[in-house]
Amino acid sequence: MIQIERAHRAPASRPLEQSERPRSIVVQFRSYVTKQTVLKAAWTKRNIQVSGSRIFFDEDFTPAVYKERGKYKEVRKILRERKIKHHILFPAKLKIFLEDGKVKVFDNPVAAAHGLRDLGIIMKSPAEEPNLETILRAAGWHTVSSRKMTSTTEMIDAVKSLLQSKEPDNDH
């Protein structure tokens, strides 16, 4: 028996027109295993119709996960054009099924583009997101020139010396 915790329509930002598709229905199953079973069955059957209209099943992710998955858009477009079977793993890894039965998994779109290049598929590499250092340099920040490494004992001696010089006189 399928146990559902709750189900509701996704909120609408404005009233729907007659010609627009109805809002999504969000379902929370009592069990993760049940959710996966329902999704797998729906994806296997593919064309599910209710009252003459096709319905679709998909997982609901956070906006951050959708954003990360969206970064694979160009890579996935190339894979679809070449009819290469692929799947996005949670949260945002690309799994590619090769003709020889091998499977490749990529952690990010840049790695996927480079991996496809190794397979003979040339594509423009997606832009890498800049790291914090790159962002700060672009904003005009710069690093201080590297200093001589100080040994631990030298550091401890310097701190002791500093503390001794700051001690109040007990003669008062």
Taking only the tens place, the pLDDT of each residue in 102-158 is: 899 999 888 888 888 888 887 776 666 666 666 666 666 666 654 555 566 666 676
In a domain, 138, yes or no: yes
Please check the confidence at residue 81 and state whether its pLDDT lies above 60.
yes
Local structure of 159: helix, strand or coil: helix
Alpha helical stretches, state H, 82-123: 109-118
Beta bridge partners of 8: 26
In terms of residues, how long is the chain? 172
Please indicate, yes or no, if residue 77 is contained in any of the structural domains.
yes
Domain residues for the domain of 96 are: 61-144
Residue 168 pLDDT level (bands cut at 50, 70, 90): low
pLDDT tens digits for 6-65?
A: 998 888 777 767 667 777 888 999 999 999 899 889 888 988 888 888 888 888 888 888
Is the domain of 73 the same as that of 15?
no
pTM of the model: 0.54
Query: 51 with 74, same domain?
Result: no
Is the domain of 78 the same as that of 41?
no
Alpha-carbon distance of 114 to 126, in angstroms, equals 10
Q: Which residue has the tokens 């099924």?
A: 97
Tell me, yes or no, whether 81 and 137 share the same domain: yes
| pLDDT of res. 52 | 84
